[in-house]
Amino acid sequence: MTDQPSVLDEVPRELFIPEVIWDDNPDGHGFVPVSRTTDRQRWLELVNSTGPIVTQVDDGHPVDGIGRVPTSSSSQPSLVAMMLDELDVKPGHQVLEIGTGTGWNAALLAHRAGPDGRVVSVEVDGQVADKARAALAVTPYRVTVIEGDGTAGFAAGAPYDRVIATASVRRVPTTWIEQTVEGGVLVLPWGTDYCNGALLRLVVHGDGQASGRFGRSLEFMRVRNQRNTFLDPSDEQIEQADKSTTTLRGGDVYELVAFERAAFIIGLRVPACYLTHWADIDVQYRHIVEFHDTASGSWARIDTDPRADALPVWQFGPRRLWDEALTAYEWWQHNGQPPPQSFGLTVAPDGTQTVWLEKPTGHGWEIQ
Sign of the alpha-carbon dihedral angle for 190, 191, 196, 200: negative
pLDDT-derived band at 3, boundaries 50, 70, 90: very low
Give the residue-averaged pLDDT of 160-166.
Answer: 98
Select which of 6, 49, 73, 168 is catalytic: 73
- Please check the confidence at residue 286 and state whether its pLDDT lies above 90: no
Give the residue-averaged pLDDT of 100-104.
Answer: 97
The pLDDT tens digits of the residues spanning 296-349 come to 999 999 999 888 889 999 999 999 999 999 999 999 999 999 999 999 999 999
pTM flag (> 0.95): no
Least confident of 56-65, 298-307, 318-327, 359-368: 359-368
The pLDDT tens digits of the residues spanning 6-44 come to 557 789 999 999 999 999 998 878 999 999 999 999 999
The percentage of the chain sitting over the pLDDT mark of 70, rounded to a whole number, equals: 98
Q: What is the pLDDT of residue 279?
A: 84
pLDDT-derived band at 277, boundaries 50, 70, 90: confident
CATH class of this structure's domain 235-334: alpha beta
How far apart, in Å, do the first and last CA atoms of the chain sit? 42
**CATH among 3.40.50.150, 3.40.50.720, 2.30.30.100, 3.30.1370.60 for 77-225+341-366:** 3.40.50.150
What residue spans define the domains of the chain?
6-74, 77-225+341-366, 235-334
Check if 73 is active-site.
yes
